[in-house]
Chains A and B, each alone.
Chain A
Amino acid sequence: EDQVTQSPEALRLQEGESSSLNCSYTVSGLRGLFWYRQDPGKGPEFLFTLYSAGEEKEKERLKATLTKKESFLHITAPKPEDSATYLCAVRSFRNTGKLIFGQGTTLQVKP
Protein backbone atom coordinates (compact mmCIF):
# COMPACT_ATOMS: atom_id res chain seq x y z
CA GLU A 1 0.00 0.00 0.00
CA ASP A 2 1.27 3.49 -0.89
CA GLN A 3 2.21 5.44 2.23
CA VAL A 4 3.88 8.68 3.32
CA THR A 5 5.30 9.41 6.77
CA GLN A 6 6.63 12.81 7.79
CA SER A 7 8.86 13.66 10.74
CA PRO A 8 9.04 15.40 13.04
CA GLU A 9 5.37 16.26 13.62
CA ALA A 10 6.37 19.67 14.99
CA LEU A 11 9.58 21.67 14.87
CA ARG A 12 10.45 24.88 16.68
CA LEU A 13 13.45 26.85 15.45
CA GLN A 14 15.04 30.14 16.27
CA GLU A 15 15.33 32.59 13.39
CA GLY A 16 18.45 31.70 11.43
CA GLU A 17 18.67 28.13 12.79
CA SER A 18 18.78 25.78 9.78
CA SER A 19 17.15 22.34 9.86
CA SER A 20 15.61 19.58 7.74
CA LEU A 21 12.17 17.98 7.49
CA ASN A 22 11.89 14.33 6.51
CA CYS A 23 9.38 12.55 4.26
CA SER A 24 9.61 8.75 3.99
CA TYR A 25 7.53 7.10 1.31
CA THR A 26 6.46 3.74 -0.05
CA VAL A 27 4.88 3.81 -3.49
CA SER A 28 4.48 1.36 -6.34
CA GLY A 29 6.17 3.33 -9.12
CA LEU A 30 6.84 6.95 -8.18
CA ARG A 31 5.35 9.39 -10.67
CA GLY A 32 6.26 12.39 -8.54
CA LEU A 33 6.90 13.59 -4.99
CA PHE A 34 5.45 16.96 -4.08
CA TRP A 35 6.06 19.47 -1.32
CA TYR A 36 3.41 21.95 -0.27
CA ARG A 37 3.21 24.68 2.34
CA GLN A 38 -0.07 25.21 4.19
CA ASP A 39 -0.94 28.18 6.38
CA PRO A 40 -3.72 27.74 8.99
CA GLY A 41 -7.20 27.64 7.44
CA LYS A 42 -5.87 27.97 3.88
CA GLY A 43 -5.27 25.66 0.95
CA PRO A 44 -1.86 24.08 0.36
CA GLU A 45 0.56 26.14 -1.72
CA PHE A 46 2.66 24.18 -4.24
CA LEU A 47 6.42 24.34 -3.66
CA PHE A 48 8.29 21.58 -5.54
CA THR A 49 7.97 18.44 -7.64
CA LEU A 50 10.75 15.82 -7.59
CA TYR A 51 10.74 12.94 -10.04
CA SER A 52 13.83 10.79 -9.53
CA ALA A 53 16.47 9.93 -6.94
CA GLY A 54 19.27 12.47 -6.83
CA GLU A 55 17.10 15.34 -7.98
CA GLU A 56 17.23 18.66 -6.07
CA LYS A 57 15.10 21.80 -6.31
CA GLU A 58 15.61 25.17 -4.61
CA LYS A 59 13.44 28.17 -3.88
CA GLU A 60 14.66 30.99 -1.66
CA ARG A 61 15.55 29.42 1.72
CA LEU A 62 14.09 26.00 0.82
CA LYS A 63 15.82 23.08 -0.86
CA ALA A 64 14.16 19.74 -1.56
CA THR A 65 16.08 16.53 -2.23
CA LEU A 66 14.98 13.01 -3.16
CA THR A 67 16.33 9.49 -2.62
CA LYS A 68 14.67 6.16 -3.45
CA LYS A 69 12.98 6.02 -0.04
CA GLU A 70 12.76 9.56 1.31
CA SER A 71 12.80 13.26 0.62
CA PHE A 72 14.19 16.08 2.70
CA LEU A 73 13.13 19.69 2.83
CA HIS A 74 16.09 21.72 4.02
CA ILE A 75 15.37 25.17 5.45
CA THR A 76 18.38 27.48 5.55
CA ALA A 77 18.40 30.47 7.92
CA PRO A 78 14.60 30.43 8.38
CA LYS A 79 12.58 33.55 9.10
CA PRO A 80 9.34 33.83 11.13
CA GLU A 81 7.37 34.04 7.87
CA ASP A 82 8.49 30.48 7.07
CA SER A 83 6.25 29.27 9.93
CA ALA A 84 3.63 26.94 8.41
CA THR A 85 2.77 23.27 8.00
CA TYR A 86 4.82 21.57 5.30
CA LEU A 87 3.13 18.69 3.52
CA CYS A 88 4.72 15.94 1.46
CA ALA A 89 2.70 13.92 -1.07
CA VAL A 90 3.36 11.21 -3.65
CA ARG A 91 1.63 10.14 -6.83
CA SER A 92 2.06 6.71 -8.37
CA PHE A 93 2.26 5.71 -12.01
CA ARG A 94 -1.09 3.98 -11.68
CA ASN A 95 -2.43 7.46 -12.47
CA THR A 96 -5.39 7.35 -10.16
CA GLY A 97 -5.15 11.13 -9.90
CA LYS A 98 -4.74 10.70 -6.19
CA LEU A 99 -2.07 12.42 -4.13
CA ILE A 100 -1.21 10.53 -0.95
CA PHE A 101 -0.28 13.00 1.75
CA GLY A 102 1.73 12.69 4.92
CA GLN A 103 0.43 14.21 8.12
CA GLY A 104 2.71 17.21 7.75
CA THR A 105 5.39 18.94 9.83
CA THR A 106 4.32 22.11 11.62
CA LEU A 107 7.23 24.53 11.69
CA GLN A 108 7.40 27.47 14.06
CA VAL A 109 10.23 29.96 13.66
CA LYS A 110 10.73 32.33 16.56
CA PRO A 111 12.36 35.76 16.10
Chain B
Amino acid sequence: EAGVTQSPTHLIKTRGQQATLRCSPISGHTSVYWYQQALGLGLQFLLWYDEGEERNRGNFPPRFSGRQFPNYSSELNVNALELEDSALYLCASSRGGLLNNEQFFGPGTRLTVL
Protein backbone atom coordinates (compact mmCIF):
# COMPACT_ATOMS: atom_id res chain seq x y z
CA GLU B 1 0.00 0.00 0.00
CA ALA B 2 1.43 3.38 -1.02
CA GLY B 3 2.07 5.86 1.77
CA VAL B 4 1.40 9.56 1.91
CA THR B 5 3.15 11.39 -0.92
CA GLN B 6 4.15 15.05 -1.04
CA SER B 7 5.46 17.31 -3.75
CA PRO B 8 7.76 18.98 -4.38
CA THR B 9 10.54 17.58 -2.20
CA HIS B 10 12.27 20.94 -2.03
CA LEU B 11 11.03 24.43 -2.81
CA ILE B 12 13.06 27.63 -2.83
CA LYS B 13 11.25 30.97 -2.86
CA THR B 14 12.03 34.58 -2.07
CA ARG B 15 10.33 36.82 0.46
CA GLY B 16 6.90 38.00 -0.64
CA GLN B 17 6.32 35.15 -3.09
CA GLN B 18 3.66 32.45 -2.80
CA ALA B 19 4.32 28.74 -2.28
CA THR B 20 2.03 25.81 -3.11
CA LEU B 21 2.64 22.41 -1.54
CA ARG B 22 0.76 19.25 -2.48
CA CYS B 23 -0.19 16.07 -0.64
CA SER B 24 -1.82 12.78 -1.63
CA PRO B 25 -3.18 10.70 1.28
CA ILE B 26 -3.09 6.96 1.73
CA SER B 27 -5.82 5.27 -0.30
CA GLY B 28 -9.00 5.07 1.77
CA HIS B 29 -8.03 7.95 4.06
CA THR B 30 -10.30 10.98 3.96
CA SER B 31 -8.60 13.26 6.51
CA VAL B 32 -5.50 15.29 5.72
CA TYR B 33 -3.46 17.25 8.25
CA TRP B 34 -0.67 19.78 7.71
CA TYR B 35 2.15 20.45 10.19
CA GLN B 36 5.12 22.80 10.17
CA GLN B 37 8.45 21.64 11.58
CA ALA B 38 10.79 24.61 11.91
CA LEU B 39 14.28 24.21 13.31
CA GLY B 40 14.16 24.00 17.08
CA LEU B 41 10.36 24.41 17.30
CA GLY B 42 9.04 20.88 16.94
CA LEU B 43 5.94 19.92 14.96
CA GLN B 44 3.23 22.57 14.99
CA PHE B 45 -0.31 21.83 13.79
CA LEU B 46 -1.44 23.96 10.84
CA LEU B 47 -4.65 22.64 9.31
CA TRP B 48 -7.06 19.69 9.26
CA TYR B 49 -9.26 18.82 6.28
CA ASP B 50 -11.88 16.10 6.27
CA GLU B 51 -14.32 15.28 3.47
CA GLY B 52 -13.39 18.48 1.66
CA GLU B 53 -14.03 20.78 4.61
CA GLU B 54 -11.59 22.67 6.82
CA ARG B 55 -12.23 21.28 10.33
CA ASN B 56 -9.61 23.11 12.38
CA ARG B 57 -6.61 25.37 12.05
CA GLY B 58 -3.67 26.06 14.36
CA ASN B 59 -2.24 29.39 15.51
CA PHE B 60 -0.96 30.53 12.14
CA PRO B 61 -1.80 33.73 10.22
CA PRO B 62 -4.44 33.69 7.44
CA ARG B 63 -1.74 33.74 4.74
CA PHE B 64 -1.48 29.99 5.46
CA SER B 65 -4.44 28.40 3.71
CA GLY B 66 -5.33 25.27 1.84
CA ARG B 67 -7.99 23.08 0.43
CA GLN B 68 -8.94 19.46 -0.05
CA PHE B 69 -10.05 18.13 -3.40
CA PRO B 70 -12.80 15.56 -4.15
CA ASN B 71 -10.15 12.83 -4.45
CA TYR B 72 -9.01 13.78 -0.89
CA SER B 73 -5.65 15.15 -2.00
CA SER B 74 -4.76 18.50 -0.51
CA GLU B 75 -2.88 21.68 -1.21
CA LEU B 76 -1.25 24.08 1.25
CA ASN B 77 -0.74 27.65 0.10
CA VAL B 78 1.51 30.12 1.85
CA ASN B 79 1.18 33.72 0.66
CA ALA B 80 3.52 36.66 1.22
CA LEU B 81 6.36 34.40 2.30
CA GLU B 82 8.53 35.49 5.20
CA LEU B 83 12.00 34.24 6.14
CA GLU B 84 10.62 32.46 9.21
CA ASP B 85 8.35 30.32 7.00
CA SER B 86 11.44 28.27 6.12
CA ALA B 87 10.68 24.81 7.50
CA LEU B 88 9.80 21.22 6.71
CA TYR B 89 6.08 21.02 5.91
CA LEU B 90 4.59 17.65 6.71
CA CYS B 91 1.31 16.23 5.54
CA ALA B 92 -0.40 13.36 7.34
CA SER B 93 -3.53 11.37 6.60
CA SER B 94 -5.94 9.23 8.59
CA ARG B 95 -9.19 7.38 8.17
CA GLY B 96 -12.29 9.49 8.64
CA GLY B 97 -14.91 9.47 11.37
CA LEU B 98 -14.46 7.57 14.61
CA LEU B 99 -11.54 5.59 13.13
CA ASN B 100 -9.48 8.72 12.55
CA ASN B 101 -6.94 8.33 15.32
CA GLU B 102 -3.56 7.34 13.86
CA GLN B 103 -1.98 9.89 11.54
CA PHE B 104 0.53 8.66 8.97
CA PHE B 105 3.05 11.18 7.68
CA GLY B 106 4.55 11.83 4.29
CA PRO B 107 8.22 12.64 3.64
CA GLY B 108 7.66 16.40 3.77
CA THR B 109 8.42 19.40 1.59
CA ARG B 110 11.45 21.46 2.58
CA LEU B 111 10.59 25.13 1.98
CA THR B 112 13.44 27.62 1.97
CA VAL B 113 12.63 31.33 1.86
CA LEU B 114 15.49 33.61 0.82
Are A43 and B105 touching (Cβ within 8 A)? yes
Chain A residues closer than 8 Å to B50, beta-carbon distance: 97
Interface residue? B78 (CB, 8 A): no
Contact of B88 among A34, A41, A103 (CB under 8 A): A41
Are A97 and B55 touching (Cβ within 8 A)? yes
Are A101 and B43 touching (Cβ within 8 A)? yes
Interface residue? A44 (CB, 8 A): yes
Chain A residues closer than 8 Å to B58, beta-carbon distance: 98
Are B107 and A43 touching (Cβ within 8 A)? yes
Chain A: residues with Cβ within 8 Å of the partner, total of: 23
CA distance A45 to B107 in the complex (A): 9
Chain B residues closer than 8 Å to A96, beta-carbon distance: 48, 55-56
Please indicate which of the listed interface residues B31, B43, B45, B55 has the most CB atoms of chain A within 10 Å of its own CB. B43
Residue-wise interface mask of B (100-114) relative to A, using a CB-CB cutoff of 8 A (1 in contact, 0 not): 111111111010000
State which residues 14-50 of A face B: CB under 8 Å. 31-32, 34, 36, 41-46, 49
Nearest 6 Cβ contacts at the A-B interface: A97-B48, A43-B105, A98-B45, A101-B43, A96-B56, A44-B105
Q: List 26 A-B contacts (CB under 8 A).
A: A31-B101, A34-B102, A41-B88, A41-B108, A42-B108, A43-B4, A43-B106, A44-B43, A44-B105, A46-B103, A46-B105, A89-B43, A91-B101, A96-B55, A96-B56, A97-B33, A97-B48, A97-B55, A97-B56, A98-B33, A99-B43, A99-B45, A99-B103, A101-B43, A102-B42, A103-B42
Which B residues have a C-beta under 8 Å from some C-beta of A? 4, 31, 33, 35, 42-43, 45, 48, 50, 55-56, 58, 88, 90, 100-108, 110
